[in-house]
Each structure stands twice: as C-alpha cells, then as structure tokens.
C-alpha cells in the first residue's frame, strides 16, 4: 500500500519537476561517483546551491550502471562528470550528448588535449565532452631508498637497468610487482613500456585504418610494433619481488609504504593508499625510460573526469550554468589540487604536490600518451593477456592473439 | 552441533556381558568424524563473520595492513560513522525494507492465490497451461530482459521502488508457485468440501481454511523472497532512477573501487546491512524447519 502511494507521488513529482516556470528552482541531476572526491564535490554543490536560487543541483553518486540504464529509459542525468573511457565514449559516438563547444569552459581547455579525447570516439561537428581532470601516471619511486644508494633518476633505458642492478646488488627489491591484479600489469608495465617508445596516437590510428587486415602481413600490427617494447618489459619484470605473482594492488601499496621496494609502476591514485600506512614517506615520480634518448620521455595520462550534458536532459540550460560554475578556476583547480590531478584549462598552475613534480614538465610540454591497454576495446581481454606476459608467456604468441582478436572485432563491426 | 550416538550398534549386541555393561555405563559417545565435518562447516561461516566484525571496528590504517584476522587495536567506530554518512544509511535502509516487505507480501499472496486456483482447477487446460507459463519464468534470468524492462518501467512511471517490487515479485512467483502447489496436493480435498457444506464461498474457503494451512510453506516462500529482495543489486540499480530512492546494496557499491581500499568503512556498512537479515533469520528459522518437515510428512 505504501509502495503504491509512493509510486504515485513519485510519478507526480517527476511530471511536476519537468514543467518549466513553475516558480521554484530548476532541479539539475548531477552524476559524480568518484568516491574519494565525494566530500569535495558535495561542498561545491552546496556552495553553488547557496549562491543562487534559480537552479538546485542534486548530487547523484550511484555509479555508471545506473547512468547507462537512465539513457535507456530516456531520463539521463542533466550533467555528468565521468571517467572518460570507451564506455562513456559510446554516448559520444552515437551523438547522444549536446555540443559544449560554445561554452566559456570549452574555450579555456588546452587544445592539445583534444586528440586524446577524440581517440575514444567523436561525433562530427560537436564537442561532446570537456576534460575536467587529467591524471598523469609514471614510475613512483621511494626517494629515501634512492638517496641511500646515491641513485639518480634514470633518463635512459641503460641507466634504468643500471639503477635496477645496483639496487639488486644492494639487496633491495628494485620494482614491486602486483601481477595478481591484471589491471596493474596493463596500467603500469604494459602501458609505460609501450607508451615510452611507441606513438600510441599514430599506432592506433593506423591500426584502425588497417581494420580486419591486421595480421602477419599488415604494415602495422601488435606483433610488429609492440613486441620490442614488451621484450623490454619482460626484462624489467625480472627485477620484481619473488612473490609478485600472488600480490595484488592492496598488498603492493602496503609493501611499498613499508619500504619493500624502490620503484612501483602505479598512478597517483596509489599515493593516498600508500599514505594510509606511511603518511610521511618521501615519494617521487619519473617517466619510465624505454629508449636511449631522454627526449623520448613521456608520461601516461588519462582523462579521469570529463563533463558531459546528455541530449535527453530536460534542464540543459541550468546544467550549463552549473557546468560554468564547475570550471571556475578556484573550483576546478581546487578539485585537481585535492585529487592530485592536472587541470586541463590552459592557464591553470600544476598541482603543488611534490610527489607529482617529476611529471609536471612533461605534462606542460604535451609529452603525454594515453595507455595502450585502455585504447583496446573492452571486448578484447587485453589485461589478462598482459598478465600472461608478466607470468612468462611468449610475447610474440600473445601479440599474435591480440592481432587476431583485433581483426575479428573489426570484421564484426 | 555434535552428533551423539546413544543407542549401541546392532552388531555390538552379542558381546560378552561385561563389555555390554561397560558400554551401557559409558557416557554417550562422540561421533568423531561427523563432529569434525560439522566443525569445519561451522568455521566456513564463522571465520568470514569474524573478519567482517573485526574489520568494521578497525582504523583505516590497520584495515590495510594485510592481517585480516588480527583484533582491532585501537577499536574505532569511524568506519560506521563514515559508512552511515556515505550511504545515507537510514534512507537506504528504509528503501531496502520497503522493497523487501513489498516483495515478500506480494509474493506470498499472489503465489498462494495462484496456486490454489491452479490446483483446484487442474483438469482445465487454461489453468494447467498457466501453471507451465508461470514456471517458464524460472528459465528467464533478469539480465536477459533488463533492457526492455528498464524502458517499460520508465514509460509506466515505475522507475522507483514500486517497480522493483512488481518485477521482483514476478521473478519470485514461479518458484513460489511450485512450492505452494506441491504443498497444496497434501491438503485433503475433504476439508474444503466440509467447509462448502457449511456454506463457505470460494474466497472464504481460501482465507479461513487454506491460507492458514499454508502458513509453514508461506514462511519458506517468504524467506526466499526476503533473501532475494534484500540482497539483490542489479535490479534496483537499473530500475530505480532517483538516486535518493536507491536500496542499500546499490548505495554500498560506492565502496568497491579499483583504486581505493577502505575495508573498515565497507565492512562496517556490510555489517549494518546484514543485521536485519540475520535478525529476520533468527526469528523465522523455526518456521522454515517446520515448513520442511511438514512438506515431507503427508497430511
């Protein structure tokens, strides 16, 4: 009985809520589900709601599945800050998002980030998504261990091997491997090794052009272009802790915080986890050198959050108003400062955290790439494949499988 | 938990008198292998429960130190506080209770009525086929029909807990009807005939006679419906569109992220969500047992 009454009130509420000009503030549903940042965003929403009374923003933290369902149902959120990946890009590809190209926020975004956004998908003639937070990832290293053994940050592949050898001879573990969690192999080992010497933008463009013909006879293939870097990756994987195969992400953070290894191939998200155990540990970052030329050094980035306004939203103008608020320098820079992200607007200062200092120059110079593992469509199980390589499978075999998967998927589409 | 062997085994009877008297005098023997087996089974339940409880009371720092079995030191309720705030626990709990209560009540009522109608009209083709039709739903898992259901509930204004109640009841119906019909077979028709002779209508027969007799089976059906509705994640997450009306399991999804481990907060939240289910089981397990035995012994 209560359920029935509730249902009726809800339906009535929805209908009333949709009618414009009913006197009260316009409701905007804002989806945001990055758990660590919910307190910050709650504060932003509260501040915005208090600053005016035309729009009332409601924060929705219920996650990505719920959003997909709401698109199916036809009542998507009015504004969304989402991790930008292939799943969100599907909404871009199908042109279900409004053009944000004419917003003030869009005019302030660094133009060199656009190719990274387009790499996932695009809707012709529209700026469907605006980057809000960019995460840069590279090798995390323990400054105390490096200082103890008088080591400098390596700039070339041979320097890196030298550092690893020195550490090993001194009885330290050079790298901490958490191969039990396949995503850590893909995100760190695979992506850094590939991105450090292959131009991923160009590689995936050519791969897409080749389509169903990718294979032993094509001009570009995983086997031809990635086998070299991955052989280097297997060489590095020889310097990990003995129990790497049975260690997961959580174990890695704990061990690294306790000084269990000198280097750790993880992103900035691991800093807050490491800090749970060792809040004062001195950590730094540097891009993984894969060649003998320091000019090749690059850091892996991903668009951690992008702003989108779906076409199905009934409150697009109000959503845009809040969007402009979110892109105010103090809000967006404050957000990225607190989450160790880089602000994608052209005039923004880099995050002040010393742990990120090793990556800032590369980000400012645009020496960045997106991880190869996230650019492969999710239907191809690339993460277990990379894990297989870490466990000692033959690189060429795995790359051939990847080529076949890619060609098969291209044929089907 | 221990199995006691009080009666001497048949083959031991022709033993000498002294041995027999010793046997009679000795205390009831342990069934060692059975006890060990049951003890191991108990551990599989108690150990995770222990970890859940102790994790919930740890500080974040201790929760990630890799020793799941250690006792919390110092004891912290910070996990509960955070979990309470992050999930908006009272509202989530109310929604979960609403959905569960609605599903349990609707399942018991509809399944009982449908089974009664089907069993007493078994010889008619329409009823027989409708039984098979209801059973057919057992072979359709929710994910298969998720997309059309999302659209349908959206258009009908059922994208809220009420819609979840309707759908969950529908999916629970087939199994419940199966249980009820099997149980109804064991209720003698003569009882109903005597009621009719006294002038009872079909409705009165059902409400005053059959439904009370179905009580043990209703408890079983209710418990299955309870467990399903209370624990279900996928259906509410897809059907309910207003985040303010989400159920607890969906709110708790927040704790499972790839990059961050907050075991103390998550386990505190799980513990709070488990509590009603455990309490409900403590109070109703008697009826479950009765239901099982009463279904087994005819009449």
CATH of the domain at A263: 3.40.190.10
Which residues in A229-310 belong to E strands, given as ranges?
Answer: 263-266, 283-286, 299-308
List, for residues A6-36, the tens digit of each pLDDT value.
Answer: 444 444 444 444 444 456 889 999 998 788 8
Cα–Cα dist B239/B158, whole Å: 8
Q: Which residue of B has its CA nearest to A15?
A: B157
Residues A372-384, mean pLDDT to the nearest whole number = 91
Q: Based on the domain organization, do A57 and A106 belong to the same domain?
A: yes
Q: What is the DSSP string of chain B?
A: ---EE-SPPGGGTTS-HHHHHHHHHSPPEE-HHHHHHHHHHHHHHHHHHHHHHHHHTS-HHHHTSS-TTSPPSS---HHHHHHHHHTTHHHHHHHHHHHHHHHHHHHHHHHHHHHHHHHHTTTSHHHHHHHHHHHHGGG--HHHHHHHHHHHHHHTT--SHHHHHHHHHHHHHHHHHHHHHHHHTTS-HHHHHHHHHTT--HHHIIIIIIHHHTHHHHHHHHHHHHHHHHH--HHHHHH---GGG--HHHHHGGG--SS---HHHHHHHHHHHHHHHHHHHHHHHHHHHHHHHHHHS--
- The two structure tokens encoding residue B46: 């108690």
pLDDT value for A120: 87
Tell me the shortest Cα–Cα distance from B163 to chain A, in angstroms. 8
Residue A336 lies in a domain: yes
Q: Do A31 and A49 belong to one domain?
A: yes
Does residue B169 register a pLDDT over 70? yes
> Do A105 and A252 belong to one domain?
no
> CA–CA separation, B182 vs B298, rounded Å?
11
8 Å CB contact of A61 and B257:
no
Reported as a pLDDT band with limits 50, 70 and 90, residue A119 is: confident
Nearest by CB to A73, from B66, B241, B254: name it: B241
Q: Using alpha carbons only, what angle is made at residue A269 by residues B52 and A33, rounded to the nearest 5 degrees?
A: 70
Q: Locate B268 and state its tokens.
A: 């505190």
Across the interface, do A62 and B153 touch by the CB < 8 Å criterion? no
CA distance A29 to A80: 8
Same domain, A199 and A272: yes
Q: Which of A56, A335, A44, A35 is nearest to B86 (CA)?
A: A35
CA distance linking residue B186 with residue B293, whole number of Å:
13
> Is residue A192 in some structural domain?
yes
**Average pLDDT, whole number, for chain A?**
89
A353-364 pLDDT per residue, tens: 999 999 999 999
Residue A352 belongs to some domain of the structure: yes
B296, HSE (Cβ side, Cα atoms, 13 Å): 6
For residue A337, what pLDDT is reported? 92
* Chain B residues touching A66 at Cβ < 8 A: 237-238, 241, 243, 246, 250
Q: Chain A residue with minimal CA distance to B255? A: A35
Q: Find the mean pLDDT for residues A277-296.
A: 93
Indicate the SS3 state at residue B169. helix
Task: Please tell me the distance from the alpha carbon of residue A49 to that of residue A53, in angstroms, as a whole number.
Answer: 7
Give all domains of chain B, ordered by start, each with its CATH number: 4-76 (no CATH), 82-296 (1.10.3720.10)
What is the SS3 assignment for A345?
Answer: strand
Sign, Cα dihedral of A107, A111, A117, A122: positive
Residues A193 and A252 in one domain: yes
DSSP 8-class letter at A310:
B
Instruction: Examine residue A378 and state whether it is found in any structural domain, yes or no.
Output: yes
- In chain A, residues with a C-beta closer than 8 Å to the C-beta of B150 are 69, 72-73
Q: What pTM does this model have?
A: 0.80
| Domain, as residue range, for A186 | 136-301+369-412
Q: Flag whether pLDDT at A66 surpasses 70.
A: yes
Interface contact B165-A251, CB threshold 8 A: no
Chosen domain end from A356, A380, A398: A356
Question: Is A187 an interface residue toward B (CB < 8 Å)?
Answer: no
What is the pLDDT, as a whole number, of residue A332? 94
pLDDT digits (tens, 9 = 90+) for A213-252: 998 889 999 999 999 999 999 999 999 999 999 999 989 9
- Give the Å distances, CA to CA, from B11 to A379, B7, B23, B33: 65, 12, 13, 20
User: How do residues A38-63 score in pLDDT, each as one tens digit?
Assistant: 889 999 999 999 999 899 999 888 77
Summarize the confidence of residues A87-106 as an average pLDDT: 90
Distance (Å, rounded) from C-alpha B61 to C-alpha B81? 16
Give the distance from residue B265's alpha carbon to the nearest chain A alpha carbon, in angstroms: 12
Inter-chain CB proximity B60 and A62 less than 8 Å: no
Task: Give the pLDDT of residue B141.
Answer: 86
| Spatial distance between the Cα atoms of A133 and A82, rounded to a whole number of angstroms | 10
Q: Looking at A16-30, B88-102, B219-233, which range is the least confident one?
A: A16-30
Label residue A413 by pLDDT band (50, 70, 90).
confident
* Residues A49, B48: Cα–Cα separation, whole Å: 44
Q: Cβ contacts (< 8 Å) between B255 and chain A: which residues? A: 35
Q: Is A102 on the interface with B (CB under 8 A)?
A: no
Poorest-pLDDT segment among B79-83, B176-180, B199-203, B275-279: B275-279
| Nearest-by-Cβ selection for B260 from A33, A35, A61 | A35
Tell me the nearest-neighbour CA distance from A162 into chain B, angstroms: 31
Q: What does the pLDDT read at residue B30?
A: 77
Q: Are residues A149 and A176 in the same domain?
A: yes
Place of tokens 């109640």: B165
Please answer yes or no on whether A73 and B159 come within 8 Å at the CB atom. yes
> What CA–CA distance (Å, rounded) separates A187 from A193?
10
Q: How many domains does chain A have?
A: 2
What pLDDT score does A195 carry? 93
List Cα–Cα distances, A112 to A135, A314, A345, in angstroms. 15, 32, 11
CA-based max dimension of chain B: 83
Quick one: A60 and A192 in the same domain?
no
Question: Which residues of chain B neighbour A7 with C-beta distances below 8 Å?
Answer: 157-158, 160-163
Indicate if the pLDDT at residue A374 is higher than 60: yes
Binary contact (A62, B147; C-beta < 8 A) = no
The pLDDT of residue A23: 63
Has residue B124 got a pLDDT over 90? yes
- Phi, psi torsion values for B29, nearest 5 degrees: -85, 155
Residue A307 is assigned to a structural domain of this protein:
yes
pLDDT band at B70 (very low <50, low <70, confident <90, very high): confident
Q: What percent of chain A has pLDDT over 70?
A: 94
Cα–Cα distance for residue pair A105/A127, rounded to 1 Å: 11
CB contact at 8 A, A65 and A82: no
Q: What is the pLDDT of residue A22?
A: 53
Residue A170: CB partners within 8 Å, gap ≥ 6?
A149
Structure tokens at A326: 């979110």
Angle at A263 (CA atoms; ends A262, A266), nearest 5 degrees: 145
Size of interface A-B (CB pairs under 8 A): 108
Residues of chain B with Cβ-Cβ distance to A251 below 8 Å are 66
Q: How far apart are CA B241 and CA B277, in angstroms?
A: 25
Q: Is B150 within 8 Å of A69 when comparing Cβ atoms?
A: yes
A140 phi, psi to nearest 5 deg: -95, 130
Q: How confident is the model at residue B229 (pLDDT cuts 50, 70, 90)?
A: very high
Q: Which of A65, A69, A270, A272 to mutate to test the interface with B (most CBs of B within 10 A)?
A: A69
First and final C-alpha spacing in chain A:
49
Residue A69: per-residue pLDDT: 86
| Range scoring the smallest mean pLDDT among A90-94, A341-345, B258-262 | B258-262
In 3D, which of B134, B117, B207, B122 has the Cα closest to residue B172? B134
Eight-state DSSP code of residue A378: T
| pLDDT tens for each residue of A73-89 | 888 999 999 988 888 88
Residues A95 and A170 in one domain: no
CA nearest to A105, candidates A81, A84, A132, A80: A132
Number of Cβ atoms within 10 Å of the Cβ of B59: 17
- Indicate whether B98 pLDDT > 90: yes
User: Same structural domain for residues A106 and A173?
Assistant: no
Q: Do A272 and B257 touch (CB under 8 A)?
A: no
CA A274, CA A283: separation in Å to the nearest integer?
Answer: 10
User: Does residue A13 form part of some domain?
Assistant: no
Residue A280 touches partner B, C-beta closer than 8 Å: no
Is A25 a domain residue? yes
Q: Does residue A174 lie within any of the structural domains?
A: yes
**Separation between Cα atoms, residue B89 and residue A322, nearest integer Å:** 28
**pLDDT given for residue B26 in this prediction:** 59
Four-residue CA torsion sign, A139, A145, A147, A152: negative
**Residue keyed to tokens 């080529």:** A403
Query: Which is it for strands A26-32 and A79-82: parallel, antiparallel or unpaired?
Result: parallel
Nearest to B157 among A11, A62, A276 (CB): A11
Residue B149 has pLDDT above 60, yes or no: yes
Pull the structure tokens for residue A28: 């905007």
Do A53 and A102 share a structural domain? yes
Res. A142: pLDDT tops 60 = yes
Contact criterion met (CB below 8 Å) for B284 and B206: no
Token pair listed for A351: 């995050």
Outline where A140-181 has alpha helix (H).
143-148, 157-169
Give tens-digit pLDDT for B183-194.
998 888 888 899
Mean pLDDT for the stretch of residues B255-266: 78
Query: Looking at residue B291, what is its pLDDT?
Result: 57
Query: Do A277 and A377 lie in a common domain?
Result: yes
The answer to whether residues A340 and A209 belong to one domain is no
Phi, psi values for residue A131, rounded to 5°: -65, 140
Instruction: Report ipTM for this prediction.
Output: 0.72
């Amino acid at each position: 009985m209560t359920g029935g009454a509730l249902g009726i009130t809800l339906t009535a509420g929805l209908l009333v809520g949709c009618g414009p000009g009913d006197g009260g503030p316009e409701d905007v549903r804002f989806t945001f589900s990055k758990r660590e940042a919910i307190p910050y965003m709650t504060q932003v929403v509260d501040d915005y709601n208090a600053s005016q009374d035309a729009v009332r923003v409601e924060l929705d933290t219920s996650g990505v599945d719920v959003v997909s369902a709401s698109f199916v149902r036809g009542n998507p959120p009015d504004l969304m800050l989402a991790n930008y990946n292939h799943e969100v890009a599907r909404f871009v590809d199908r042109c279900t998002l409004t053009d944000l190209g004419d917003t003030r926020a869009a005019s302030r975004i660094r133009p060199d980030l656009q190719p990274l956004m387009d790499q996932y998908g695009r809707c012709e003639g529209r700026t469907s998504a605006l980057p809000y937070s960019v995460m840069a990832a590279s090798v995390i290293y323990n400054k105390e261990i490096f200082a103890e053994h008088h080591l400098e940050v390596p700039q070339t592949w041979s320097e890196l091997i030298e550092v690893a050898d020195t550490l090993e001879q001194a009885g330290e573990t050079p790298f901490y491997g958490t191969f039990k969690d396949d995503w850590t192999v893909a995100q760190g080992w695979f992506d850094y090794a590939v991105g450090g010497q292959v131009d991923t933008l160009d590689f995936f463009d050519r791969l897409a052009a080749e389509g169903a013909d990718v294979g032993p006879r094509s001009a570009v293939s995983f086997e031809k272009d990635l086998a070299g870097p991955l052989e280097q990756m297997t060489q590095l994987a020889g310097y990990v802790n003995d129990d790497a195969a049975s260690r997961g992400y959580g174990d890695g953070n704990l061990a690294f915080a306790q000084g269990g290894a000198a280097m750790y191939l993880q992103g900035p998200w691991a800093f807050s986890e490491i800090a749970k155990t060792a809040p004062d540990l001195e950590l730094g970052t540097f891009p993984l050198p894969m060649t003998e030329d320091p000019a090749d050094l690059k850091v892996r980035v991903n668009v951690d959050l992008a702003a989108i306004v779906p076409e199905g939203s009934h409150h697009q103008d109000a959503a845009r108003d809040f969007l402009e608020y979110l892109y105010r320098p103090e809000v967006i820079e404050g957000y990225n400062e607190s989450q160790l992200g880089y602000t994608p607007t052209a005039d923004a200062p880099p995050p002040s955290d010393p742990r990120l200092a090793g990556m800032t120059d590369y980000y400012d110079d645009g020496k960045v790439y997106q991880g190869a593992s996230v650019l492969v469509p999710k239907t191809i199980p690339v993460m277990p494949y990379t894990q297989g390589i870490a466990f000692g499978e033959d690189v060429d075999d795995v790359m051939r499988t990847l080529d076949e998967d890619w060609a098969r998927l291209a044929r089907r589409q | 938990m221990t199995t006691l062997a009080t009666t001497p085994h048949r083959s031991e009877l022709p033993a000498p008198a002294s041995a027999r008297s010793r046997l009679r005098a000795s205390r009831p023997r342990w069934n060692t292998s059975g006890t060990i087996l049951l003890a191991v089974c108990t551990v599989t339940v108690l150990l995770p429960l222990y970890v859940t409880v102790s994790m919930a009371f740890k500080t974040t720092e201790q929760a990630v130190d890799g020793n799941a079995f250690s006792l919390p030191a110092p004891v912290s309720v910070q996990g509960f506080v955070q979990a309470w705030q992050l999930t908006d626990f009272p509202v989530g709990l109310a929604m979960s209770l609403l959905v569960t209560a609605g599903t349990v009540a609707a399942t018991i009522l509809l399944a009982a009525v449908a089974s009664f109608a089907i069993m007493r009209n078994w010889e008619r083709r329409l009823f027989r086929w409708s039984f098979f039709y209801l059973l057919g739903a057992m072979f359709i898992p929710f994910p298969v029909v998720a997309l059309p259901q999302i659209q349908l509930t959206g258009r009908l204004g059922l994208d809220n807990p009420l819609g979840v109640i309707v759908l969950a009841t529908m999916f629970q119906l087939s199994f419940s009807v199966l249980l009820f019909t099997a149980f109804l077979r064991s209720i003698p028709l003569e009882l109903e005939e005597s009621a009719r002779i006294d002038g009872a209508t079909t409705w009165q027969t059902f409400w005053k006679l059959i439904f009370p007799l179905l009580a043990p089976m209703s408890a079983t059906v209710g418990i299955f419906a309870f467990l399903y509705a209370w624990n279900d994640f996928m259906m509410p997450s897809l059907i309910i569109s207003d985040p303010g009306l989400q159920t607890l399991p969906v709110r708790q999804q927040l704790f499972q992220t790839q990059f961050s481990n907050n075991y103390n907060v998550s386990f505190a939240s799980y513990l709070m969500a488990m509590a009603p289910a455990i309490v409900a089981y403590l109070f109703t397990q008697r009826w479950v047992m009765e239901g099982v035995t009463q279904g087994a012994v005819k009449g």
